[in-house]
Amino acid sequence: MNVHDLYKKKLTTAEEIVKQFQSGWVSVSDNALSAPRAIYEAIGKRAEEGNLDRLTMHTFLDVFPVPCYDEKLKDKIFGVCWFAGKAGRAALEGGFADVMYGHYRDCPDIITDFVDIDAFCIMVSPMDKHGYFSTGCSASLSVAMRDKARRIYLEVNKYMPRAVSGPIIHISQVTSLCENHQELLSIPSVESDEVSITIGKLIAEEIPNGATFQLGIGAIPNEVAKALKSKRDLGIHTEMFTDGMLDLLECGAVNNSRKPVHTGRTVATFAYGTRRIYDYIDDNPAIQMLPVDYVNNVELIAQHPNFVSVNAALEVDFLGQISAETIGTRIFSGSGGQVDYVRGSYQSKGGKSFIAFPSTSKNDTISKISSVLKPGSVVTTLKNEVDYIVTEYGIAKMRGSSLSQRTKALISIAHPKFRDELTFEAKKRNIVI
Ligand code: COA
């Protein structure tokens, strides 16, 4: 049977796909934009009608309300968050979801070794003439899931770009597919603010021409990108590809010419932004969307000289321990690839990693620099690996600094209204300052 006949034979509706689901199944999808919206809606509907129960769904950065985090379905569908979005966070707080741990680079191996998958459901671009579908904006976990799953269900969307060097799924591997041509979601826009602009400029000054960089998610990485426009010969090797990075490619600050590997090409494992970047990825050999166990591999990152990574934190203590995923015992997000990039930058010749955040949160009522982390907070990046910490008041160097030097440096970049209190806390702990 040729690939077009196979396509027609396997084509059905999202509702019919979900009718194949049996109670007790485990379903997974890759992160963010690759979660199949019509199939997920049909799962929710079927569970609501009482025809599906004990379904476990694993999610990675949910960017729209997925049924496993819908409280009214909590007795029928159970969610496991690998990186919580808004709905996952609420479900965890409500006590009806679970959380999985792992550095992003290790997640494909965790899937292969420990997750028994009945259904891999994913949004893909339309089939090409050879019978292949591209996973488009999300390459991170798709290969591990494709190879482990008992069944593969596709939601074909003409708005999903074709990533020419990304993971592929052949029509012969597919159990059933449906079509749902729906514009991809865009990341909510983040307003520029004075604090982020200041931090962005401070970090950009530390990035030399010719460096390769990774930027995390949020206002500060966006401002770093804006402040890099006057640089030359930069390279991108990153977890998430963003609009700010595309601006740098378009203005010529990034040309990837000095990358020792993937020279001339941008490397990322997923993309989440606006239509501009989805169009940029489509059929473009200059951007390679590759699995996260490859992209976030510490040795690969370290091969780039002057590698710079920029990520955020929720809280840091005097030791420089970075808490980036919980607020006390409350789970906020996940480890993601923060440590992968901190370690890769650490090992890169001339490399630097920056953990950047505003000095306060909640309208200046909470200092994000504390003597100790809140009880129950997890440490995402260790004191032995943290390099530079940045707020709007400057940069504090941790690597090669003693506890006393770290404490002094951190107090000097804390918000002025908290500096006396922090000094008092340091003295109380007999830290020499
Ligand atoms: N104490 C109490 N609350 C705090 C706090 C603190 N020290 N720091 C932040 N908060 C609150 C904020 O007020 C905000 O509350 P709201 O949701 O009610 O508005 C919330 O926590 C989020 O803080 P914010 O500073 O806006 O976070 P962000 O959106 O910039 O994300 C991280 C920052 C650290 C959560 C995010 O970068 C992350 O998840 N990182 C982990 C993984 C990673 O770095 N991966 C690599 C790159 S993708």
Residues 198 and 272 in one domain: yes
Residues 262 and 411 in one domain: yes
pLDDT band at 406 (very low <50, low <70, confident <90, very high): very high
- pLDDT the model gives residue 93: 96
Residue 56 has pLDDT above 90, yes or no: yes
- pLDDT the model gives residue 190: 80
Distance 415 CA to ligand 1 centre (A): 17
- pLDDT the model gives residue 132: 98
Distance 332 CA to ligand 1 centre (A): 7
User: Whose alpha carbon is nearest atom 12 of ligand 1?
Assistant: 361
Is 433 part of any domain? no
Residue range 215-249, pLDDT digits in tens: 998 889 999 999 999 999 999 999 999 999 999 99
Cα-to-chain-centroid distance, residue 431: 36
Q: Which residues pair with 346 in a beta bridge?
A: none
User: Whose alpha carbon is nearest atom 11 of ligand 1?
Assistant: 361
Residues 45 and 128 in one domain: yes
CA-to-CA distance for 64 and 37, rounded, in angstroms?
Answer: 8
- pLDDT the model gives residue 48: 96
Distance 220 CA to ligand 1 centre (A): 12
Distance 110 CA to ligand 1 centre (A): 26
Which atom of ligand 1 lies nearest, measured to the CA of 323? 34
Q: What percent of the chain has pLDDT over 90?
A: 97
pLDDT band at 71 (very low <50, low <70, confident <90, very high): very high
User: Whose alpha carbon is nearest atom 44 of ligand 1?
Assistant: 338
- pLDDT the model gives residue 382: 98
CA-to-CA distance for 88 and 82, rounded, in angstroms?
Answer: 9
Distance 324 CA to ligand 1 centre (A): 7
Is 169 part of any domain? yes
- Among 155, 179, 203, give the residue marking a domain's end: 179
**pLDDT mean over 356-379:** 98
Residues 219 and 155 in one domain: no
CA-to-CA distance for 216 and 285, rounded, in angstroms?
Answer: 23
Residues 336 and 208 in one domain: yes
pLDDT band at 76 (very low <50, low <70, confident <90, very high): very high
Residue range 138-175, pLDDT digits in tens: 999 999 999 999 999 999 999 999 999 999 999 999 99
Residue 52 has pLDDT above 90, yes or no: yes
Residues 207 and 321 in one domain: yes
CA-to-CA distance for 299 and 387, rounded, in angstroms?
Answer: 18
Residue 191 has pLDDT above 90, yes or no: no
Residue 8 has pLDDT above 90, yes or no: yes
Is 188 part of any domain? no
Residues 286 and 379 in one domain: yes
Which atom of ligand 1 lies nearest, measured to the CA of 357? 25
Domain with 51 in it: 3-179
Residue of 82, 187, 314 to mutate, ligand 1, most atoms within 8 A of C-beta: 314
Residue of 93, 101, 332 to mutate, ligand 1, most atoms within 8 A of C-beta: 332
- pLDDT the model gives residue 50: 93
Residue 417 has pLDDT above 90, yes or no: yes
Residues 42 and 99 in one domain: yes
Average model confidence (pLDDT) for the chain? Answer: 97
Is 380 part of any domain? yes
Residue range 85-96, pLDDT digits in tens: 999 999 999 999
- Among 126, 152, 179, give the residue marking a domain's end: 179
User: Whose alpha carbon is nearest atom 8 of ligand 1?
Assistant: 314
Which atom of ligand 1 lies nearest, measured to the CA of 314? 8
Is 187 part of any domain? no
Take residue 233 and report the two structure tokens written for it.
Answer: 């010969």
CATH assignment of the domain containing 310: 3.40.1080.20
Residues 141 and 226 in one domain: no
Residues 218 and 318 in one domain: yes
Amino acid (one-letter) located at 251: C
Domain count, the chain: 2
Residue range 369-385, pLDDT digits in tens: 999 999 999 999 999 99
Residue range 250-269, pLDDT digits in tens: 999 999 999 999 999 999 99
Residue 189 has pLDDT above 90, yes or no: no
Asked if 37 and 180 count as a contact pair (C-beta separation under 8 A), the reply is: yes
Amino acid (one-letter) located at 304: H
User: Whose alpha carbon is nearest atom 29 of ligand 1?
Assistant: 218
Q: Which residues pair with 138 in a beta bridge?
A: 270
Which atom of ligand 1 lies nearest, measured to the CA of 335? 42
User: Whose alpha carbon is nearest atom 25 of ligand 1?
Assistant: 314
Is 76 part of any domain? yes
Within 6 Å (CB) of ligand 1, which residues are found? 216-218, 239-240, 311-315, 324-325, 327, 332-333, 335-338, 361-362, 366, 368
Residues 221 and 112 in one domain: no
pTM score of the predicted model: 0.97
CATH assignment of the domain containing 100: 3.40.1080.10
Rg (C-alpha) for the chain, rounded Å, is 22
Is 186 part of any domain? no
Amino acid (one-letter) located at 16: E
Residue 304 has pLDDT above 90, yes or no: yes
Distance 314 CA to ligand 1 centre (A): 5
Residue of 242, 361, 415 to mutate, ligand 1, most atoms within 8 A of C-beta: 361
Distance 77 CA to ligand 1 centre (A): 28
CA-to-CA distance for 377 and 322, rounded, in angstroms?
Answer: 10
- pLDDT the model gives residue 217: 82
Which atom of ligand 1 lies nearest, measured to the CA of 214? 47
Residues 240 and 380 in one domain: yes
User: Whose alpha carbon is nearest atom 36 of ligand 1?
Assistant: 312
Q: Which residues pair with 124 in a beta bridge?
A: 156
Catalytic center residues:
239
Which atom of ligand 1 lies nearest, measured to the CA of 219? 30
Is 299 part of any domain? yes
- pLDDT the model gives residue 149: 98
Distance 323 CA to ligand 1 centre (A): 9
User: Whose alpha carbon is nearest atom 22 of ligand 1?
Assistant: 314
- Among 126, 147, 179, give the residue marking a domain's end: 179
Residue 192 has pLDDT above 90, yes or no: no
